[in-house]
Chain A
């Protein structure tokens, strides 16, 4: 019986160690959190009514088309939001996507900051930084950070078709 209790204590000890390890590894892994809200964007391209004319070429979404919720733990201090696109499934490389941050969203952290991304950033196929979050003395948690999208390069010289792409936002370390 004594032997069994000792064994159980050892098992409990090891399980506790594993739990703590998982807790730490989980914390490290889940350090920065990003959720993407807002709406998908269907670009309204006005019809051409005059022979000889082309499309105006550049179109903007609503200023709050995409709403980002992002948080950075105090322990980690900062993070960056990157953006890229991927064809979904068809996209023409002449169609240029850009994004910009049009506001700061909402946060309870008075000393935290968002920097960059207020001018349009071209969205490539690989991640490019849009803006940064700095946590100071608190968890930097922002909700509803508004992002506006822009599409340019629209032309009759691009084959007539429906094009779709997915814009992917990611939060990561600087």
Chain B
């Protein structure tokens, strides 16, 4: 009898402890996961070509007249970088240079609907076939899409050596913009 009662007592306590533990659950969880990838996108808007033409002087003895500065182009970009990652920059280069002529470009400060760590424009550069930085210090940022968003470009022509100018028509020059680290 003593043994039965002893077992009864132990079993009861264990049962109560276990059942208490099982039924005492008052919390639970589920997890949420999201992956944000590295993003590197650049675009120049609008996509139509720019025409810059010298014009003939009206009076004998005057030089050919320079075209006005073109300000129709905007650089748009989206940049997502890893924590502690290297900031990005945008470079520009041309596929060819024209004898006697400099093609110059300068980006303005970012404007429009963008956000984040937007880039800082460099001083005006003369384009060559080697890439040169026109915007630097880009972090996690987006400029907004299309004209009037991002960095407005000022593209201009200047004569570097008048003696080297020669008459030509429709000489396409491709300006390549690249976003890089």
Which residues of A are at the interface with B, using a C-beta cutoff of 8 A? 4, 8, 11-12, 15, 18-19, 22-23, 25-26, 29-30, 32-36, 38-43, 45, 47-54, 65-66, 68, 85, 88, 95, 97, 149, 151, 154-172
Instruction: Establish whether residues A159 and B29, one from each chain, have CB atoms under 8 Å apart when the complex forms.
Output: no
* Inter-chain contacts of B169 with A (CB < 8 A): none
A22 B31 Cβ-Cβ under 8 A: no
B20 lies within 8 A of A41 (CB): no
User: Which of B28, B43, B45, B149 has the largest number of chain A CB atoms within 10 A?
Assistant: B28
**Bound-state Cα–Cα, A151 to B32, Å:** 9
Interface residues of B in 1-23 (CB under 8 A from A): 1-2, 5, 8-9, 12-13, 16-17, 19-20, 23
Instruction: From B20, B27, B80, give the contact of A22 (CB < 8 A).
Output: B20
* Smallest CB gap from B149: residue in A: A52
Query: A51–B33 contact, CB under 8 A?
Result: no
Residues of B within 8 A of A42 (CB): 32-34
Residues of A within 8 A of B30 (CB): 36, 38-41, 65-66, 166-167
B161 in the interface (beta carbon within 8 A)? no
- A selection of 12 A-B contacts at a CB cut-off of 8 Å is A15-B9, A18-B13, A29-B20, A33-B25, A34-B26, A43-B32, A50-B41, A52-B143, A157-B117, A162-B33, A169-B29, A171-B26
Say if the beta carbon of B42 comes within 8 Å of chain A. yes
Considering the chains assembled together, what is the distance between the CA atoms of A162 and B35 in angstroms? 4
**In this complex, what residue of A is CB-closest to B42?**
A51
Q: Which residues of A contact B123 (CB under 8 A)?
A: none
In the complex the two chains form, what is the Cα distance from A45 to B99 in whole Å?
50
In the assembled complex, how far is the CB of residue A24 from the closest CB belonging to chain B, in whole angstroms?
Answer: 10
Interface residues of B (CB under 8 A from A): 1-2, 5, 8-9, 12-13, 16-17, 19-20, 23-39, 41-43, 45, 76-85, 114-117, 139-146, 149-150
Query: Given A51-B145, A52-B77, A157-B140, 11 other A-B contacts at CB below 8 A?
Result: A22-B13, A26-B23, A38-B30, A51-B42, A52-B142, A52-B143, A156-B142, A160-B140, A165-B31, A169-B29, A170-B27
Give complex CA distance A88, B32 in Å.
Answer: 9
In the bound complex, do residue B20 and residue A26 qualify as a contact, i.e. CB atoms below 8 Å apart? yes
**A51–B12 contact, CB under 8 A?**
no
Report yes or no: A157 in contact with B31, Cβ–Cβ below 8 A. Answer: no
How far, in Å, is B178 (CB) from chain A's closest CB?
12
Closest 9 CB pairs of A and B: A36-B28, A52-B76, A26-B20, A51-B43, A159-B83, A52-B145, A51-B41, A157-B116, A156-B80
User: A43 is contacted by which of B2, B28, B33, B38 (Cβ under 8 Å)?
Assistant: B33
What separation, in Å, do the CA atoms of A38 and B20 have in the docked complex? 25
User: Contacts A53-B145, A159-B82, A162-B33; is A48 near B39 (CB within 8 Å)?
Assistant: yes
Query: Does B36 contact A163, Cβ atoms closer than 8 Å?
Result: yes
Contacts of A154 in B (CB 8 A): 34, 36
Shortest B114–chain A CB gap in Å is 7
Evaluate contact between A160 and B37: CB separation under 8 angstroms.
Answer: yes
